[in-house]
Structure 1
Amino acid sequence: MREGLRVRCGLRHLHRLARRPSITHANAPLSELGRLRLARCVVDDGWPLRRAAERFQVSVSTAKPWADRYREHGVAGMTDRSSRPLSSPRRTPTRTRRRIIKIRLARRWGPARIAYLLVPVPSTVHRILVRYGLARLSHVDRATGQPVRRYERAAPGELVHVDIKKLGNIPDGGGHKVHGRQAGLRNSSAHRAPSRPRKKGGRANLGHSYLHNAVDDHSRLAYTEILPDETKESAAAFWQRAQTFFHTNGITVERVLTDNGSCYRSRLWRDTLADAGIVHKRTRPYRPQTNGKVERFNRTLLDEWAYARPYRTETERREAFRRWLHT
């Protein structure tokens, strides 16, 4: 009994679907050409609706709307139409939709927070934001609230992003990220190597590592070195090695984009690029988004290598770097 009831309900559902002149799908009995042939049989040739419906294997209630459309609009009436209703009484008011968009752009709130202020459920806010093409918060520029404009050079070497990332060295035995603040300070103050002289306060001067990074805009090929400083001499020497690396991989560098660091404003850096026939571009002050590809590389570098696991020594972390960069 239950099985027969399910079958009858399924047939009723299919019959209701067949009655609607809707958008063509995989199981639709009539294409646009089939509708036209059916309608011409009824209107032009005078076939009864039942006979035409049997001929094209559809119901009478399906054949009648197509015949009526053909009488009214001709061949143009056989095309698909939107199934959207003429009126939507429960649709979110225009004023509320405008307020949602305004709050999104002004405050950069998510759907849940906007819904708490304006509408009953976050899904309504989400649908409105999607309808008006507003990007996810992660894709929105933090300064302006507008969608981030993505770009990519047409060929490798047209633009190479260069930047420096500063990292604190890890003391032998592990720092505070492994043992906590107190034990980490103890390990930091235990160094007596000449290369790491002790300060007057009793703690060792572990120093910093400077990661000089170069990322090709088109291919995302990256070259990185860990150097002890960020002077103009180190930056210029790094670029010469980076240029050799890119040339070895078949990339001829045309432009280099950097921030406004002192080493990149030096004459040595300018002359190094000019001698190689490379155009130097600098970002606008306080606008790191312009150099976003290498900035995002820096973030990936921190998440997946520098702070990915607890390293016991600085040497251990540096040994893991080349493997990570190759991966």
Structure 2
Amino acid sequence: MADQAARRRLLKVRIRRASQPLLPRGRTRTRTRTRTERRIIKVRVLRRWGPARIAGLLRLVPSTVHRVLTRYGLARLTHLDRATGRVIRRYERQRPGELVHVDIKKLGNIPDGGGHKVLGRQTGRKTRSNVGYSYLHTAVDDHSRLAYSEIHTDEKKETATSFWKRAHAFFAECGITVERVLTDNGACYRSHDWRDELARAGITHKRTRPYRPQTNGKVERFNRTLLDEWAYARPYRSEQERRDAFPGWLHTYNHHRGHTALKGQPPASRVPNLTGQYT
């Protein structure tokens, strides 16, 4: 009930703003009629649709819808929780190690000779059978965005636990004391092996709420970056070729690639003890 009341109040505010003239007199440029603006805002607030879908429903041009949404400062859909419509509040821990995000990304392997990016879509489909999957186990420090990642052939509890031992050692070598670890509710993270390993190191284990992957957003964002800048960045002719490129890309990410959340600086800038910072 509280969420519904909040949404109704938000809708009233948007409609009230839409009824106020924003353009000074004498301007020759026309603007969307107030009634249409109200309809656009109503659909956005209640259904949380993007400009294209709203335009299709109201029989408008998507650029017109986008212009109206921008004019009234409506948040981008990527900044909203789709279930509640609330703006997602970004946060950042105060020190390295206060919270480390851990996740596993499943990735289809590239067949020998290349996939559809090398051979074309029709031929590439024929070579995809029985090539299997890779599982990228990743740990990202919340404060610095420093990442440790390994490629494995499964996501079993033994693999996940062994990965964490090496990730923990990596952060320790960088002078980072891990206090808490955040994961999703995957089976490997609910195992006794995982629980006991964290307990031995005095690390608190926290899990995300079901169906709320944005809670683990730091590592989710890292996964999207590695897909764009490594996994699908260029046509690879084999899975081994792509794997061979991963360590170099990860080094660039940690030491050289500017991060928007860090004011254009790489994660290494927030970890003074990180070796190889300038190599």
Asked if Structure 1 and Structure 2 have the same fold, meaning a TM-score greater than 0.5 normalized by the shorter chain, the answer is yes
Q: Quickly say closer, same or farther: Cα 1:166–1:154, change in 2 above 3 A.
A: same
Matched letter for residue 275 of structure 1: R
Partner residue of 1:239? 164
Decide whether the 8 Å contact of 1:140 with 1:147 is kept in 2: yes
User: Which one of 205, 212, 226 corresponds to residue 301 of structure 1?
Assistant: 226
The alpha-carbon deviation at position 322 of structure 1 amounts to 1.0
Partner residue of 1:286? 211
Q: Does 1:134 align with 2:74?
A: yes
User: Which one of 211, 219, 225 corresponds to residue 144 of structure 2?
Assistant: 219
Equivalent pairs counted in the alignment come to 228
User: Which one of 234, 253, 267 corresponds to residue 178 of structure 2?
Assistant: 253
Identity %: 76
Decide whether the 8 Å contact of 1:134 with 1:147 is kept in 2: no
* Per-residue deviation, residues 27-74 of structure 1 (Å, max 9, x unmatched): xxxxxxxxxxxxxxxxxxxxxxxxxxxxxxxxxxxxxxxxxxxxxxxx
Q: 131-140 or 239-248: which moved more? A: 131-140
Matches within 5 A, 1:270-285: 270-285=195-210
For the residues of structure 1 that align with 2:170 and 2:192, how far apart are their CA atoms? 23
Question: What SS is found at the alignment partner of 2:226?
Answer: helix
For the residues of structure 2 that align with 1:119 and 1:180, how far apart are their CA atoms? 37
User: Which one of 82, 99, 102 corresponds to residue 159 of structure 1?
Assistant: 99
For the residues of structure 2 that align with 1:181 and 1:125, how far apart are their CA atoms? 35
* Per-residue deviation, residues 71-94 of structure 1 (Å, max 9, x unmatched): xxxxxxxxxxxxx989xxx99887
The alpha-carbon deviation at position 126 of structure 1 amounts to 5.6
* Per-residue deviation, residues 91-145 of structure 1 (Å, max 9, x unmatched): 9887665443221122334457657877988788667645654212332333333
Gap runs ≥5 in structure 1 = 1-83, 189-202
The alpha-carbon deviation at position 307 of structure 1 amounts to 1.1
For the residues of structure 1 that align with 2:36 and 2:125, how far apart are their CA atoms? 55
Partner residue of 2:83? 143
For the residues of structure 1 that align with 2:153 and 2:53, how far apart are their CA atoms? 46
Matches within 5 A, 1:60-209: 98-110=38-50, 129-130=69-70, 132-181=72-121, 183-184=123-124, 187=127, 205-209=130-134
For the residues of structure 2 that align with 1:216 and 1:122, how far apart are their CA atoms? 39
What TM-score do the two structures reach when normalised by structure 2? 0.70
Report the structure number with the largest CA radius of gyration: 1
For the residues of structure 2 that align with 1:122 and 1:286, how far apart are their CA atoms? 30
Question: What SS is found at the alignment partner of 1:322?
Answer: helix
For the residues of structure 2 that align with 1:227 and 1:241, how far apart are their CA atoms? 13
The alpha-carbon deviation at position 230 of structure 1 amounts to 0.9
What TM-score do the two structures reach when normalised by structure 1? 0.61
Q: Quickly say closer, same or farther: Cα 1:102–1:274, change in 2 above 3 A.
A: same
Q: 245-254 or 165-174: which moved more? A: 165-174
Matched letter for residue 187 of structure 2: S
Q: Which has the higher contact order (CA 8 A, sep 6+)?
A: 2
Q: Quickly say closer, same or farther: Cα 1:311–1:270, change in 2 above 3 A.
A: same
Gap runs ≥5 in structure 2 = 1-22, 253-279
Partner residue of 1:314? 239
The alpha-carbon deviation at position 182 of structure 1 amounts to 5.0
Question: What SS is found at the alignment partner of 1:163?
Answer: strand
For the residues of structure 1 that align with 2:67 and 2:179, how far apart are their CA atoms? 44
The alpha-carbon deviation at position 268 of structure 1 amounts to 0.5
Question: What SS is found at the alignment partner of 2:223?
Answer: helix
The alpha-carbon deviation at position 176 of structure 1 amounts to 3.1
Matched letter for residue 214 of structure 2: Q
Q: Quickly say closer, same or farther: Cα 1:138–1:288, change in 2 above 3 A.
A: closer
Question: What SS is found at the alignment partner of 2:103?
Answer: strand
* Per-residue deviation, residues 137-194 of structure 1 (Å, max 9, x unmatched): 3323333333222111111111111000111222221123321355336656xxxxxx
